């Protein structure tokens, strides 16, 4: 092949040309002193990263359970404050609404006079209903005291409060009009 021939593929190049000088022995001698025996890479950075992740997760859970809004908090309100039983502290943030507290207190104050205006069998039904609702409240509060983050128990307690307000409201309306429930 002459210098003037055009190469169109690698197959056109000669296969047996030796380089003018071999550079590998010099490269090998230059890197030989720098070569060290292979050692295992340290796992310390991996363990530190895992420990930092676990710590951040634990702190996030702690903050979420302790400081974020909507989490249970002690309010000091009692569910059965009008029944004469020992007060049980409700640990739920939804009970602190001042409007709810005012309306409930007014309905409880007027309960006896409104019940007296109703027929005896209706009075019995209302008393049994309120007794069952308040027993449910106490049971749910006790269960929430043991497991305050249980969303199902919280929802059941809210529903029980709503049911109590519904019964008190119906008694209030029926007692005012002196009609049977």
Average the pLDDT over each of 41-45, 48-52, 56-60, 95-99 and give the range with the smallest value: 95-99
Average pLDDT over residues 74-85: 41
- What is residue 86's predicted lDDT score, i.e. its pLDDT? 37
Is the CB of residue 84 less than 8 Å from the CB of residue 138? Answer: no
Q: What is the pLDDT of residues 10-20, one digit of tens each?
A: 888 888 888 78
- The predicted-structure confidence for 119-178, as pLDDT tens digits, reads as follows 888 888 888 988 999 999 899 889 888 988 888 888 888 888 888 888 888 888 876 655
**117, 178 Cβ separation under 8 angstroms:** yes
Cα–Cα distance, 73 to 59 (Å, whole number): 19
Residues contacting 156, CB < 8 A, separation 6+: 140
| Cα 40 to Cα 37, 43, 44, 50, distances in angstroms | 10, 9, 12, 19
1 against 157, higher pLDDT: 157
Q: Which one is predicted more confidently, 5 or 140?
A: 140
Strand partners, 151: none
Q: How confident is the model at residue 105 (pLDDT cuts 50, 70, 90)?
A: confident
> Tokens 């309120």 map to which residue?
130
pLDDT at 95: 54
Higher pLDDT, 179 or 121: 121
Domain ranges of the chain: 93-177
The answer to pTM > 0.95 is: no
What mean pLDDT is reported for the chain? Answer: 75
Instruction: Please give the pLDDT value at position 27.
Output: 86
CA 61 distance to own-chain centroid: 9
């Amino acid at each position: 092949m002459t210098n003037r021939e055009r190469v169109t593929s690698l197959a056109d190049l000669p296969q047996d040309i030796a380089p003018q000088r071999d550079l590998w022995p010099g490269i090998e001698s230059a890197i030989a002193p720098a070569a060290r025996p292979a050692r295992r890479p340290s796992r310390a950075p991996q363990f530190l990263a895992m420990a930092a992740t676990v710590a951040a997760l634990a702190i996030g859970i702690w903050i979420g359970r302790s400081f974020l809004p909507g989490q249970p908090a002690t309010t000091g309100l009692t569910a059965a404050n009008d029944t004469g039983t020992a007060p049980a502290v409700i640990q739920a943030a939804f009970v602190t609404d001042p409007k709810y507290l005012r309306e409930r207190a007014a309905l409880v104050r007027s309960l006896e006079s409104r019940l007296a205006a109703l027929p005896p069998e209706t009075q019995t039904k209302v008393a049994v209903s309120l007794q069952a609702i308040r027993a449910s409240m106490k049971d749910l509060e006790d269960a929430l005291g043991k497991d305050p983050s249980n969303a199902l128990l919280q929802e059941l307690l809210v529903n029980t409060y709503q049911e109590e307000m519904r019964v008190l409201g119906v008694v209030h309306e029926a007692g005012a009009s002196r009609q049977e429930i």
